Amino acid sequence: MANIQVAFLLSLLMALTFCCLTFAVDPASLQDFCVADSNSQGFACLLIAVKLNGFACKNPAWVQANDFSFSGLHNPGNTGNPFGSAITPVTVAQIPALNTLGISLVRIDYAPWGVVVPHYHPRATEIITVIEGSLEVGFVTSNPDNRLISKTLQKGDVFVFPVGLVHFQRNVGHMNAVTISGLNSQNPGVITIGNAVFGSKPDISTDILAKAFQVDKNIVQQIQGKF
């Protein structure tokens, strides 16, 4: 009996380990492709709308080549904004066929000294390649170390931002810069630190932020006003 109990516990442990590994990334496709059906966010089950983690699949008979393609990534983005950067995403929202494939792409254009402000991707690691220009990049490790790991990249250089870590980019040249990034999620998400902390809806209490940043509440209100 003891041997049976031990075997059962080992089998259960293996199953739990497999489940954890399976759900550590975007769910894998169980067919050749699952082109996202933008007209269906779920399906009806006993007259109850069920939401999906991702998108429902379009009928394969209705799939076209355009579902697998995106045009215009060669076009520069408009960097005429306070940050001096422009982001052109290529996620499942732009290419429906990325649904369940666990990958996406983004082009970023930078004016001289333009920045991509500190942010993180909750669902993806990012690998960035410099196409043109010189770029300062960096990320911060988690508590308690909060170590800044940064480097200046040149054309052709590659850098990795681990999933969930705050990172940034800045053009340190006097010419425009361009990068291409790959992310291991069809929908990596982005949380900009300033927007999340000072631009939440409704606002985070000024008392909380004043204590967190050790500043006067009036300063917090001024910053919140900018968001």
Binding positions: 119, 121, 126, 167
Report how far apart the first and last C-alpha atoms of the chain are (Å, whole number). 65
Q: Which parts are annotated binding residues for oxalate? A: 121, 126
How many helices (H) and strands (E) in the chain? Answer: 4, 12
Q: Which residue from 212, 211, 227, 185 is spatially nearest to 27, judged by alpha carbons? A: 185
**From the centroid of its chain, how far is CA 202?**
23
d(CA 227, CA 211): 20
- List residues bridging with 3 in a β-sheet: none
Three-state secondary-structure class, residue 198: helix
CB–CB of 84/114 below 8 Å? yes
Q: 24: which residues sit within 8 A by CB, 6+ positions away?
A: none
- What residues are designated binding site for Mn(2+)? 119, 121, 126, 167
